[in-house]
Amino acid sequence: MTPILRTEGLTRVLPGVIPVTLVEGIELQIARGEFVAVMGPSGSGKSSLLYLLGLLDVPTSGKIWLNGRDTAGAGEDALANIRLKELGFVFQFHFLLAEFTALENVLLPIRRLGTLSERAARAKGLQLLESVGLSDHASKYPSQLSGGQRQRVAIARALANDPSVILADEPTGALDTRASGSLRDNFQELAHGKHCSIVAVTHDPSFAKAADRILFLVDGKLQPPDRAAELFNMSAR
């Protein structure tokens, strides 16, 4: 089966008098509907890798294939279009617009893509909020929602254009245990029920345990599976 996301020799180096290597030689394949957690010490390159996979940063060398398409050499407009159609993003802080309701926040990427009528867009937005258990909160503003509810609105927004892959950067970092567990269940359902691939950076071993696979970065390099398992067990103690 062709992976939904694949990298070859992915490397990012910040130039300077003393160049800084953020990630180096990343060889990675993500299957459709696979939930992958990425762990590692602070400064190990986890977020840098996520930004590269999300086409928000450009590698110094190496390639990224998304849905079979080689993204190397694509212009900024083309990359923005790929991000809009193929990728969903969930961050530690929800980045909802405070002046918009939950529904209006979810509608932002749908309206930007512009393929649905306003009536169809609103119907889809409501369905997405229902899918994350927030159908009764569509008209509420972010300030009227709990942290876990705001993060679920962010998930609904990330799903707005039916992405192939969701990329999440410390999605439970600002949540309590209960909300983290709910978000973990949402991600499992998205991956296994809706076949949406998920790559989530996390420091939380209990969240990572829910993933199908755990990757471990050290000094910008992916560790072999045996070493990754050993490092994960150490982090979970």
Tens digit of pLDDT for each residue in 104-149? 999 999 999 888 999 999 999 999 998 888 889 999 999 999 888 8
For the chain, give every domain's residue range: 5-95+162-235
Mean pLDDT of 161-169: 91
Enter the pTM of the model: 0.88
Average pLDDT over residues 207-231: 89
The mean per-residue pLDDT over the stretch 63-73 comes to 90
Query: Hey, CA dihedral for 85, 47, 90, 234, is it positive or negative?
Result: positive
Q: Which residues pair with 26 in a beta bridge?
A: 10
Q: Element (H or E) spanning 188, and its range? A: helix 177-194
Question: Quick one: pLDDT at residue 237?
Answer: 67
Mean pLDDT, residues 64-81 taken together: 90
Q: What is the CATH number of domain 5-95+162-235?
A: 3.40.50.300
| Dist CA 139 CA 14 (whole Å) | 44
C-beta of residue 50 within 8 angstroms of C-beta of residue 224: no
pLDDT recorded at residue 64: 95
d(CA 167, CA 3) in angstroms, rounded, equals: 16
**Distance between terminal CA atoms of the chain?**
36
